[in-house]
Structure 1
């Protein structure tokens, strides 16, 4: 099914009309944010008890692909920030209700363990610097992974490795730093942040583990790795579908003109048809795996997890190859940074650099 099926045309119009302005500003446009807040897209995975949508995983993944199809930066920010909302299933009930009640809730953060949390009476002292926090300029709170310290000693887990736990901070306690200087995803504002000698209480620390969930629902027992893989793959897929959509009128114009030979026209038409088919085949396999894993989760044990991981990587690869093989036929407008096609190309080749889907 085409990603446009899940979005109202007026939503897409608003998102795409303001996309160039978001790129210029280095963060989502106010009209885009207004739509996100109205539709509750930052609360895709927030528990219902905290006024969240608590969407079923297959529904959420399809919506995220659709939003990435509408615009790469918006889709990415919604995916990463709503993904952090999933932590609501593990946060202390003492702080979660007030935190998630904010109508402009947005949780940004980083999965890198580039901070330390030193144990003190009643909590921890946090120090650290984290890069690439998508949506950080709109964040009400930020999350970060920290290596746990007891004095000068690093605390070890049961396997003898440094113990790493996530924390949640208030936006007012975090320093933002300009750091996102890449060719694509320019509207995500994925800048860096840091904290210095910040005291946080114990309930600001949580564990992402089904054994520690505080919300008894299948969504919060689904493995985090496959959730992350699937949502990132869906974004890359949405960008590739957007690119193929933009190819259709360009290819139609070129193949109806007189500049190309009959053989060249046939190559272009066949390439668009076959590559679009291959992309959609990978999409279908991916969603079949996601749906199957979710059905297993609903009855107590997520299944097909290896398939989710495998088809996520296969889809990301198919998306990159589809776009790269069609790109040379699109002419100089594909290389013009002021065009929508170039924006999609830049966004896809930036988003697909995420290390989670790099290796088979």
Structure 2
């Protein structure tokens, strides 16, 4: 899918408002719902918008080029669709089958679950739950406890939980200097009962096993998604930097920027070449060999490094005006630094 110049203008016109308010605006959220951007990885029979991975990563890149917060929210929200095959069809319909449905959560194991009749009693606190203020479902990992202790301290058993918003308290603690509107706050759960049917395991397929996307390795899926965001943010930073350098008449700076754009274009081409090949190979063989997974990971990290380098190398040339937080180039630079701190992009 593409974005018209009018759509880009409408979203960017709300960038400052979103950053100051700490959340995407209702208008931007409605646009995401209408375009089914949260459902790019949800099976069509669940009112989804199933999209081949290479196409979706290009969408994430473009969303992030338009606005960093918009791109991050779309990417994280869409990523929750990867959980579809681990849920029963009934639970999947409950979780996904409406236009505003979106998951927020955490992969960290910073909670506990104690066995109870028909389910688990859950407690915990999970950080960095992007999209927390508009999520309709929350997921989290917890360590299985018995009498207040993990069942096995050496290899603890984990359970992945599906929770409703009324079971979760949002602690508004996201105070990063970038991606301010992603609402990546902590979620807190206290003595919530989660029935067995609202749990799942990544080792047990329960539905939609034939969808190709769900056969793509999760780590590679996540890394390619975040790499798409980083590249889109770098694209926007380069655009904003070029405009500022032109305004200042900095010919030397423009020469360096054009060289950086050429180098960055080659890195993006290398990334998408591997991504496209991996998708084709998955379609032919039904799985990816370890060496291809390693190539994908390496290209994702290289793409993120190249994206970050765009900001680190060019920002010192932009002058004091680029240090003003209300400027486009400053906001995009901060968003780029923040996104590239994600552990999956640092190698």
Same fold (TM over 0.5): yes
CA 1:94–1:213: 2 relative to 1, 3 Å:
closer
Q: How many residues align?
A: 343
1:107 aligns with 2:113: no
TM-score where L is the length of structure 1: 0.91
Alignment counterpart, residue 184 of structure 2, candidates 180, 186, 190? 190
Unaligned runs of 5+ in 1: 257-264
| Partners of 1:229 and 1:357 within 8 A in 2 | yes
User: Alignment partner of 2:315: what SS?
Assistant: helix
Query: 1:297 maps to what in 2?
Result: 282
Q: Is the 8 A contact 2:88 2:206 kept in 1?
A: no
Aligned match for 1:165, one of 159, 162, 182: 159
Deviation at 1:43, TM superposition (A): 0.8
Instruction: Quote the RMSD (CA, aligned, Å).
Output: 1.6
Q: Which of 157, 166, 169 is 1:175 aligned to?
A: 169
Post-superposition Cα deviations, 1:289-334, rounded to whole Å, max 9, x if no partner, equal: 1111111211211252111100100011011111211112212221
Greater shift after overlay, 90-99 or 12-21? Answer: 90-99
Aligned to 2:201, what secondary structure does the other structure show?
coil
1:149 paired residue among 138, 145, 151? 145
User: 1:78: Cα distance to partner?
Assistant: 1.1
**How far off is 1:222 after superposition?**
0.8
The equivalent of 2:264 in structure 1 is: 279
TM-score, with length taken from structure 2: 0.95
| Separation in structure 1 between the aligned mates of residue 300 and residue 273 of structure 2, nearest angstrom | 11
Runs of 4+ in structure 1 off by over 3 angstroms are 150-153, 253-256
Residue 99 of structure 1 deviates from its aligned partner by: 2.2
SS at match of 2:90: coil
The answer to whether 1:97 aligns with 2:123 is no
The answer (yes or no) to whether the contact 1:11–1:35 under 8 Å persists in 2 is no
Structure 2: runs of 5 or more not aligned = none
Structure-1 separation of matches of 2:151 and 2:62: 42
